[in-house]
Structure 1
Amino acid sequence: MSATLELQAGAARLGLLPDMGGSIAFWRSGTMDFLRPVADPHLVAQHGRAVAGYPLVPFSNRVAGNQFRFEGVDYRLTPNFGGENCAIHGNGWQHRWRIAMLSDRSATLSLDHAPIGPRAGEWPFSYRAQLRYDLREAGLSIGILIENTDTRNQPVGMGFHPYFPCHAGLRVGFAASSVWTSAPDHLPLLRIPAEGQWSFAQMRDVGDAAIDNCYAGWSGSAFLRWPREGYALTLEGSPELRHLVLFTPPGKPYIGLEPVSNMNDGFNRMAIADSGVRVLAPGQKMEGHIRMTVARC
């Protein structure tokens, strides 16, 4: 089992798993767990280990048919998600990250990817990624950076996948301009206004709704409230992260609320003006920042 690296700030504790995709093992203060560890059997590279959140590099969500065309070249990816024939969430979560810097409250992890051997099917370009966690007594900040270390241009995206506990009465709120409905294969189908049943502009109970959709034109702020536990959390994303994936599996003790840069299947939809996919020239970098702040309510 991978060793857990622990950070501390006052009563707050953050557990990290550098060897398990740079994932978060736990984030808690006192008796409150702000993230919920989940063992997802579909994420086969995690080998059944429960994680509470993990980075999405060099892209978020699914790539249709495990293939995309970029600058006149066709690329094919290796499926990495059990139960579906698809590549999902990049490959950063599949590998060991190196500890680059460490203090009581902060850790910087790094990962170098080269498309050699089996890794060529994970992602066909070379990149370097950095992941920084900064713990405060009242919050957690996450910074993600991708650098193109290849000799070619490459398309990239990024994000973070936290699992939030879904206690009875959990309320969620955020503003977004539109949402992509999903086909049976979980890929984008139609873009519609984020209104009516799709709107979370007013905080509402998650309930039993089965949602697994990507919102576009996200304002950059989202709010969660656990009234029974007496806590509220504000989730903020930097301007590079203007999509938000909401995942509410019925009957599960968690939800996903994922700040990401690119829409689902963005590499095959780069003609969409706000697909969120960035093209990095050799040596260019992209970074995004996420801040989570907690308070009593």
Structure 2
Amino acid sequence: MPAPCAGQRERSLSPTLELRAGNAILGLLPDVGGSIAFWRNSDMEFLHPVTDPHLVAQHGRAVAGYPLIPFSNRVAGDRFRFEGVDYHLAPSFAGENCAIHGNGWQRRWRIDMLSDSSATLVLEHVATRDLALQWPFNYRAQLRYDLREAGLSIGLLLENTDIRSQPVGMGFHPYFPRHDGLKLGFAASSVWTNGPDHAPALRVPAEGAWSFAHMRDAGESAIDNCYAGWSGSAFLRWPRREYALTVEAGAALRHLVLFTPPQHPYIGLEPVSNMNDGFNHPDIADNGVRVLAPGEKMEGHIRMTLSRC
């Protein structure tokens, strides 16, 4: 039987799952990588849905945030070496020869638990046939969303279900709306500049134009870089809408990827565990890559809290 075309796959996807807490509504797309479709209340959209044609596995659906499992950002050249073995991953970002953001965002997740304001999704990855090119090790991932009227919590869990150890990372990729004079602030010790292949090139202090230690306009410059030594808190403010959002991440997520594409109505602010291309930088002590033995687990937690300003 011939494989279905992209349009047929799109039509086979389930409708958006909605969670509610007071006036807050969270839309989820379990079939599209466990992604968030939207997060809003009666007068403000806190995450901005984006259709990215480079992420072919999202089937043209607009997503406002998605999990990064079992690693964040790029693996340069689609290759890495671990415990003496060379591994090759299938490219997953159209227009670039690279695997990006793991494979959790490419897969359908199963609904494990569901209530009015909470959902737990599960993905069982078994590295057979073509799936081994997405990721060559078996794992089980759990993704939990807890909606409150004044915030959203996201929990990530990754368990090594393989008989071998494996290197992993994790994180979450939300898109925040850039309108109404968005201001951004966070503290980090350093930032990685990028080479021609968008992989990290040089580590420099997070100072001057790289610094967001004092809140400033998120649209002043084009940035697509990974910060290290992140404090674990970031602050967004939409002054003309009188809303503020605090993003806090647990100790496992101490890198922060900032993406501010020019002329686009959103920014990406991604709490993650590993530096970009961390698998190919075992010499960096704080690369954030975690090696899980069989049966071992890794957890990450993100909390977003709303307030009026």
TM-score, length-normalised on structure 2?
0.95
Matched, 1:275 2:293: no
- 2:238 — aligned with what? 226
Does residue 295 (structure 1) correspond to residue 307 (structure 2)? The answer is yes
Percent identity among equivalent residues? Answer: 77
Shift in Å at residue 34 of structure 1?
A: 0.2
How far the C-alpha of 1:270 sits from its partner, in A, is: 1.8
Larger mean CA deviation between 78-87 and 205-214 belongs to 205-214
Contact 1:208 1:251 in 2 (8 A): no
Structure 2: stretches of 5+ with no match in the other structure? 1-10
Give, in angstroms, the shift of residue 47 of structure 1: 1.2
Aligned runs of 1:65-76 on 2, under 5 Å?
Answer: 65-76=77-88
Residue in 1 that maps onto 2:103? 91
Aligned residues: CA RMSD: 0.7
Deviation at 1:80, TM superposition (A): 0.5
| 1:49 corresponding residue in structure 2 | 61
Which of 61, 77, 82 is the matching residue for 2:73?
Answer: 61
Task: Tell me how far 1:207 sits from its aligned partner.
Answer: 2.3
Q: Which position in structure 1 is the counterpart of 2:126?
A: 114
The correspondence of residues 114-153 of structure 1 with structure 2, limited to 5 A, is: 114-153=126-165
**Contact 2:137–2:162 under 8 Å retained in 1:** yes
Residue 241 of structure 1 aligns to a residue whose secondary structure is: coil
What residue is the counterpart of 2:190 in the other structure?
178
2:77 and 2:196 map into 1 onto residues whose CA distance is 14
Residue 213 (structure 1) aligned to one of 225, 228, 231: 225
Q: Which residue of 2 aligns with 1:39?
A: 51
Structure 1: distance between partners of 2:196 and 2:184: 25
In structure 2, what is the Cα distance between the partners aligned to 1:6 and 1:270? 41
SS of residue matched to 2:259? strand
Contact kept? 2:80, 2:86, Cα under 8 Å? yes
Does residue 159 (structure 1) correspond to residue 171 (structure 2)? The answer is yes
> Are residue 14 (structure 1) and residue 22 (structure 2) matched?
no
Q: Determine if the alignment matches structure 1 residue 244 to structure 2 residue 244.
A: no
Q: Distance in 2 between matches of 1:65 and 1:82?
A: 13
Alpha-carbon separation, structure 2, partners of 1:241 and 1:205: 24
Secondary structure in structure 2 of the residue aligned to 1:34: strand
- Provide the rounded CA distance (Å) in 2 between the counterparts of 1:17 and 1:52: 10
Residue identity matched to 1:55: P
In 2, Cα distance between equivalents of 1:120 and 1:19: 20
Structure 2 residue aligned with 1:195, among 187, 195, 207? 207
2:149 aligned partner, one-letter code: E
Equivalent position SS for 1:79: coil
**Which blocks of at least 5 consecutive residues in structure 1 are unaligned?**
none
Post-superposition, which runs of at least 4 consecutive aligned residues in structure 1 deviate over 3 A? none
